[in-house]
Chains A and B, each alone.
Chain A
Amino acid sequence: MKAVKAVMAISMVNFRGRLEYRADFALGIFLGILWQSSILVFATVLLTRFPGLDGWTRGEILLLVAMRLLSHGLYVMCFMNVSMVPYIVAEGRIDGYLLRPMPVFRQVMLSRFQINAFGDLSVACTIFAVSVPQAGIAWTPTKAGYIAAAVFGGMLMEAAAQTAIGSFSLRGAATSVWLHWVDDLMAAFGNYPLSIFAWPLRSALTFGVPLAFIAYLPAATVTGNTAGTGLPPLIAALAPAIGLAAFIAARLLWHRNLNRYAGIGG
Chain B
Amino acid sequence: MAEPLPGYRPRTRWSWRVSLLSGVSELSRPVRLTLTLLRTTLLVVLVVGVWHALYSHTRVSGGLDAEQATSYAVLAMLLNQQGGLDRMAARDTVLDHVREGTILYWYLRPVSPRRYHLARGLGDQLYALCWAGAGYLACLAAGVVGPPASAPTGILALVSLGLGQVVLYFLTLLIDLMCFWSITNQNAVFVYRFVYDLMSGSFAPLWLFPAWFQAFAWFLPFQAAVNIPLSLYIGRIPLGVFLAATGVQLAWCLALGALSFFVWRRAGRRVTVQGG
Which residues from chain A sit less than 8 Å from chain B, CB to CB? 21, 23-24, 27-28, 30-31, 34-35, 38, 41-42, 45-46, 49-51, 53-54, 86-87, 90, 115-116, 174, 176-178, 180-181, 185, 188-189, 192, 196-198, 201, 204
Given contacts A87-B88, A201-B46, whether A34 and B194 have CB atoms under 8 Å apart is: yes
**17 A-B residue pairs with CB within 8 Å:** A21-B182, A23-B182, A24-B184, A45-B208, A46-B204, A51-B58, A87-B89, A90-B91, A176-B88, A189-B50, A192-B50, A192-B53, A196-B49, A196-B53, A197-B53, A201-B46, A204-B42
- Name the B residues within 8 Å of A49 (CB-CB): 54, 58, 61-62, 208
In the assembled complex, how far is the CB of residue B72 from the closest CB belonging to chain A, in whole angstroms? 14
Q: Does B86 reach chain A (CB closer than 8 Å)?
A: yes
Report the bound CA distance from A53 to B203 in whole Å: 18
Task: Supply 19 further A-B pairs (C-beta < 8 A) apart from A21-B183, A46-B54, A181-B39.
Answer: A21-B182, A21-B184, A24-B184, A24-B185, A24-B186, A34-B195, A38-B194, A50-B58, A50-B61, A51-B58, A54-B53, A87-B88, A176-B86, A177-B86, A177-B89, A178-B35, A185-B43, A196-B50, A197-B53
In the assembled complex, how far is the CB of residue A62 from the closest CB belonging to chain B, in whole angstroms? 16
B residues 55-77 touching A (CB-CB < 8 Å): 55-58, 61-62
Report the bound CA distance from A244 to B198 in whole Å: 34
Most buried by A among B56, B61, B187: B187
Which residues from chain B sit less than 8 Å from chain A, CB to CB? 32, 35, 39, 42-43, 45-46, 49-50, 53-58, 61-62, 84, 86, 88-89, 91, 182-188, 190-191, 194-195, 198, 203-204, 208-210
In the assembled complex, how far is the CB of residue B7 from the closest CB belonging to chain A, in whole angstroms? 37
- Contact A24 B188, beta carbon cutoff 8 Å: yes
In the assembled complex, how far is the CB of residue B181 from the closest CB belonging to chain A, in whole angstroms? 9
Instruction: Return the chain A residue nearest B209 by Cβ.
Output: A45
- Contact A177 B187, beta carbon cutoff 8 Å: no
- Contact B187 A27, beta carbon cutoff 8 Å: yes
- Contact A45 B53, beta carbon cutoff 8 Å: no
- Contact A42 B203, beta carbon cutoff 8 Å: yes
Given contacts A21-B182, A27-B191, whether A38 and B54 have CB atoms under 8 Å apart is: no
A42 is contacted by which of B46, B57, B91, B204 (Cβ under 8 Å)?
Answer: B204
A201 is contacted by which of B32, B35, B45, B187 (Cβ under 8 Å)?
Answer: B45
In the assembled complex, how far is the CB of residue B34 from the closest CB belonging to chain A, in whole angstroms? 13
In the assembled complex, how far is the CB of residue A199 from the closest CB belonging to chain B, in whole angstroms? 11
